[in-house]
Amino acid sequence: MKKFLFFEAIWVVLLVSSVLAQGPERVQQTNPIIWADVPDTSVLRVGDTYYMSSTTMHLSPGLPIYYSKDLVNWKLASYVHGDLADIDSLNLNDGKNEYGRGTWASSLRFHDGKFYVSTFAGTTGRTYIFSTDDPFSGRWEMKSFRPMLHDSSLFFDDDGRVYMIFGSGTIRIRELRPDCSGLLEGGLDQVLIQDVCRAATGRGGLGEGSQMFKVNGKYYLFNITWPRGDMRTEVVSRADHLTGPYETRVCMHDRGIAQGGIFDTPDGKWMAVLFRDSGAVGRMPYVMPVEWRDGWPVLGVDGKVPQLIDGMAAHAGPVPELVASDDFNSPTLASAWQWNHNPVASDWSLTGREGFLRLTTSRVDQDVTQARNTLTQRTFGPTCAATVRLDCSGLHDGDYAGLVALQKHYGFIGVKKENGRNRLVVVLNDPRSRGQKTESVIREFDESVVYLRIACDFRAQTDVARFSWSLDGASWQTVPEELKMVYTLPHFMGYRFGLFCFSTETPGGTADFDWFQIGVE
């Protein structure tokens, strides 16, 4: 049986609420409900269970569906899709990639006993609608069509007709075929709101992220806006008829928390989940109460998103499905893992060496961002750490393998094989180096096994990653090099921990990861 050494004590670890140090005690709070990158959320309730979809863009599998009984503790039900398309950019071929693209904002709906998720991809130029009668089965039927409908909201009206509301700035509506297989020829096609940001704030700016709902016979359309010179702001538009006219007003203006929708609870109350840009960790979801005043939804408390919600428990425990340690003894990977772009099935294995994840190089690359079969999980706050035990005896000269904090400005600690020797290296693409990658050789070593660790500090957006290593798993050394983590739009994703192996000279080398342990720092 494998031993995780002292890391067994920190097996469980996603803090789904903000855990802040105050004196000698740690105070637990509800918001954010997940201190990690879970953006573009769409939430609904079926019976006593809440379901939530979120954006994972170029990762595979993608478009996760989470579920919860209390809006605080979330678990993974399934991913909606595997590899989105077999194309060079998603396969990281010929220097191409899909960082910052893939599938974007989704809408999650329940209609006539089935779950529906709609999304779109600039990668393929298509709109996608997935459906299932059991979100836990992992079996989703996919329908796709052109054109790509940006930030589209799937909407089933009471008369059986189905629509998509979409757009950036100008918000439009298009009618779909009854089976959601494409646009209905001759169906409804019109502008709903000409400039949604200006309609609510009197100023121009971003306006997108549509989510349409019908409550008590009225239509409510939610959008994120970004008025020029101001913060991200959530607005709501109301109409008596689907086609309008719509009246629009601001419904949340607090710390840039915006984009999402509303839903009711089993006891008849209303809630909303929106997200906030939170530095290098990514975009974090916040939950808030909703009151109805004169037929309008009022989000938050006194115009603010509260830290604690009446009637909701504070953080009640870990959610191992969102991040998870893995000893690679199972025939399948832990569900928290997602590949950076499409994996190459022939170049990774859980059976090539029993009890290990084996990554094999099959081509030459010069940078970890182009390395195929990099296996990733979220980082999370306020602090977190990932540790791996790596057997590097199968590396070839010119190979790199190790543990990365992945974003455009990445940092990794790993092993470089050079002239038959193992070299422990730290490689940084730090924003402070102005795009110049740096490589520091920490030491040479003869052992075949090395332990690697990255610790991330997201407190008050410190956003620093620190690197350490050990040859015996007991005595640890922290290197002086640190990574200043920065959230960038080219990658458009919070930092991820990643296990990688790539060759710069001769393919065919292997890296064997014995285990991956994740915990709080």
pLDDT tens, 342-382?
Answer: 999 999 999 999 999 999 999 999 999 999 999 999 999 99
Q: Residue 470 in 3-state DSSP?
A: strand
User: What domains, with CATH codes, occur in the chain?
Assistant: 14-299 (2.115.10.20), 338-519 (2.60.120.200)
Contacts of 17 (CB under 8 A, 6+ apart): 28, 29, 30, 31, 32, 33, 35, 72, 314, 315
pLDDT digits (tens, 9 = 90+) for 234-276: 999 999 999 999 999 999 999 999 999 999 999 999 999 999 9
Whether residue 107 is predicted with pLDDT greater than 90 in this model: the reply is yes
Place of tokens 């003869």: 446
Lowest mean pLDDT among 46-60, 138-152, 380-394, 426-440: 426-440
Distance from C-alpha of 438 to C-alpha of 289, rounded to nearest angstrom: 48
pLDDT digits (tens, 9 = 90+) for 453-486: 999 999 999 999 999 999 999 999 999 999 999 9
Whether residue 17 is predicted with pLDDT greater than 60 in this model: the reply is no
Distance from C-alpha of 394 to C-alpha of 506, rounded to nearest angstrom: 13
Give which of 86, 52, 92 is closest to 69, Cα–Cα: 52
pLDDT digits (tens, 9 = 90+) for 299-354: 999 999 999 988 776 654 444 468 999 999 999 999 999 999 999 999 999 999 99
Distance from C-alpha of 70 to C-alpha of 65, rounded to nearest angstrom: 16
2 pLDDT band, cuts 50/70/90, is: low
